[in-house]
């Protein structure tokens, strides 16, 4: 019997030692996890590779043209008086020789699209990271709200049991007992709601980070607000959307350079070999070279109109960049002001208001245990404390989300 009991206790100890707690997901690791695991970002990488290969293809020449046919074959041989007039068979080879400056300009124009795709990938990465931080904050705050409601549930359960015990002795009223039971049911429903919200946020985090479901979040997560440089010069370096517009402007400049290079002439060379039908006529060949003249009056108008259109696009993008800088700067200034105001509000609630309400609740609970106070008054004190604690979590959630938005606008 002792041996069986010893084996049973040993198995329990091994199970406890083998059981591992779920790993805690650190918020600082989410950016790298998204960068390495999200499929949409990998699609951007493949697209950038495709643009890079397409740009390399722009340096290639056009393939040569090889043909064969007849040359000056008469319709009728009755009027042919010499062998030369019988015509010839011809084999021709033609090759277009593009201007090297035009090829290089076209290559730079197409290769720059790779940088633009990488910038779009960075913007998407930070947007996904912002979404992951939002879901992380939602889960943490939902669990904190559920913990507050669970503490209220414990107190309400105690009050309800005391009221049930006092009811037969007419030391409690039926209305108070019913009110405590209704409040208890309502709190349990709200707990299930907050737990469902936390589960939904966890599922979204699993999808964003490609993680298994056996992880937990840091229940004490509280991002620190660090003001950044919000002048236009710093924003032009840090904000990727502003940088994306600058890349679009540079891309248009490259397009204009490529258009100017198209005005340079291209060359064309051809070799023609003749094989006369008459054996008395020797074989002959012909070599020709041609040049494309894009500066002709009927062709130069295209380039002038195209250049004016590109210049208009550059002006529009410049105005859009300036407007985006101003809006981002104003938005960050407003966020910084709202964050500081909300920090003061959170500090006042957590350090002054809630401790006073807790003291009042403890005093009411002590008087209720001594049967010197009615249950309705204790319920009101408990409801006031719970409402204020839930409001504090709501303000903290707004504060943390504002900090996440602030960091997202600075792309850090």
18: exposed, middle or buried (Cβ count in 10 Å: 0-12, 13-18, 19+):
exposed
Helical (H) or strand (E) element with 217: strand 216-217
Distances in Å between the Cα of 196 and the Cα atoms of 61, 191, 226, 270 are: 63, 9, 32, 77
Q: Averaged over 127-137, what is the pLDDT? A: 95
pLDDT at 292: 79
pLDDT at position 10 = 46
Q: Of the candidates 392, 371, 364, 350, which has an alpha carbon nearest to the alpha carbon of residue 155?
A: 364
Average pLDDT over every residue of 127-133: 95
Region of poorest pLDDT, from 70-79, 95-104, 335-344? 70-79
**Residue 21: its pLDDT value, please?**
64
Query: pTM above the 0.75 mark?
Result: yes
Q: What is the pLDDT of residue 11?
A: 45
Output the average pLDDT for the chain: 87
Rounded Cα gap, residues 211 and 30, in angstroms: 11
Q: What is the distance, to the nearest Å, from the Cα of residue 165 to the centroid of all Cα atoms in its chain?
A: 58
Residue 293 binned pLDDT confidence (cut-offs 50, 70, 90)? confident
- Out of 16-25, 109-118, 119-128, pick the least confident: 16-25
- pLDDT 10s digits, 311-346: 999 999 999 999 999 999 999 999 999 999 999 999
User: Does the pLDDT value for residue 360 go beyond 90?
Assistant: yes
The alpha carbon dihedral of 375, 378, 153, 204 has a sign of: positive
289 DSSP 8-state letter: E
Could you tell me what percent of the chain has a pLDDT over 90? 54
Helices 375-410 and 174-209 sit at what angle, rounded to 10 degrees?
20
Band of residue 109 on the pLDDT scale cut at 50, 70, 90: very high
Cα–Cα dist 146/393, whole Å: 11
- pLDDT of 348 higher than 50: yes
Write down the number of H helices and E strands in the chain. Answer: 10, 6
CA 345 to chain centre: 32
Q: What is the CA radius of gyration of the chain?
A: 40
Give the per-residue pLDDT at 91: 93
Question: pLDDT value at position 2?
Answer: 47
Q: Assign 215 a pLDDT band (cuts: 50, 70, 90).
A: confident
Task: Report CA-CA distances (Å) from 389 to 141, 226, 237, 349.
Answer: 12, 26, 41, 8
Q: Identify the band that residue 66 occupies on the pLDDT scale cut at 50, 70 and 90.
A: very high
pLDDT in tens, 36-46: 988 899 999 99
Asked if 111 contacts 55 with a C-beta cutoff of 8 angstroms, the reply is yes
Q: What is the pLDDT of residue 388?
A: 95
Element at 331 (helix H, strand E): helix 297-348
Distances (CA, A) of 23 to 17, 145, 214, 215, 225: 16, 22, 7, 5, 26
Report d(CA 289, CA 232) in Å as an integer: 56
Domains of the chain: 28-74+83-410 (1.20.1600.10)
pLDDT of residue 392: 96
Q: Where are the alpha helices (DSSP H) in 349-374?
A: 354-369
Largest CA distance in the chain: 143
Regarding predicted confidence, which is higher, 398 or 2?
A: 398
Q: Identify the residue with better confidence: 387 or 180.
A: 387
Kindly indicate the confidence band of residue 213, based on its pLDDT and cuts at 50, 70 and 90.
Answer: confident
**pLDDT of the residue at 172:** 65
370 vs 127, more confident: 127
């Amino acid at each position: 019997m002792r041996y069986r009991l010893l084996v049973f206790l040993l198995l329990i100890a091994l199970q406890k030692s083998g059981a591992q707690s779920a790993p805690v997901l650190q918020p600082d690791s989410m950016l790298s996890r998204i960068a390495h695991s999200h499929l949409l970002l990998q699609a951007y990488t493949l697209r950038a590779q495709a643009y890079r290969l397409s740009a390399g293809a722009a340096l290639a020449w056009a393939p040569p043209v090889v043909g064969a046919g007849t040359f000056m074959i008469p319709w009728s041989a009755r009027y042919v008086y010499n062998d030369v007039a019988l015509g010839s068979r011809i084999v021709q080879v033609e090759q277009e020789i593009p201007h090297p400056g035009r090829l290089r300009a076209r290559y730079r124009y197409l290769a720059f699209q790779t940088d633009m795709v990488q910038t779009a990938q960075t913007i998407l990465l930070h947007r996904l990271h912002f979404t992951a931080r939002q879901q992380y904050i939602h889960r943490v705050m939902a669990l904190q709200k559920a913990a507050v409601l669970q503490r209220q549930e414990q107190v309400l359960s105690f009050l309800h049991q005391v009221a049930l015990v006092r009811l037969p002795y007419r030391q409690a009223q039926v209305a108070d007992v019913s009110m405590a039971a209704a409040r208890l049911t309502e709190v349990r429903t709200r707990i299930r709601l907050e737990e469902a919200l936390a589960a939904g946020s966890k599922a979204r985090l699993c999808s964003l980070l490609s993680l298994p479901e056996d992880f937990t979040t840091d229940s004490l997560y509280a991002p620190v607000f660090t003001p950044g440089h919000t002048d236009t010069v710093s924003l032009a370096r840090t904000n990727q959307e502003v940088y994306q517009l600058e890349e679009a402007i540079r891309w248009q400049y490259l397009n204009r350079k490529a258009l100017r290079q198209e005005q340079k002439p291209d060359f064309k060379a051809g070799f023609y070999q003749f094989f006369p039908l008459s054996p008395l006529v020797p074989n002959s060949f012909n070599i020709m070279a041609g040049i494309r003249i894009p500066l002709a009056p009927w062709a130069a108008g295209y380039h002038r109109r195209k250049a004016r259109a590109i210049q208009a696009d550059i002006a529009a993008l410049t105005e859009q960049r300036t407007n985006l800088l101003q809006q981002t700067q104003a938005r960050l200034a407003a966020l910084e002001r709202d964050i500081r105001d909300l920090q003061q509000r959170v500090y006042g609630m957590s350090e002054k208001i809630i401790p006073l309400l807790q003291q009042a609740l403890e005093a009411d609970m002590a008087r209720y245990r001594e049967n010197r106070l009615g249950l309705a008054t204790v319920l009101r004190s408990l409801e006031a404390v719970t409402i204020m604690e839930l409001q504090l979590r709501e303000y903290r959630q707004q504060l943390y989300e504002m900090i996440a938005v602030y960091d997202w606008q600075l792309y850090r």
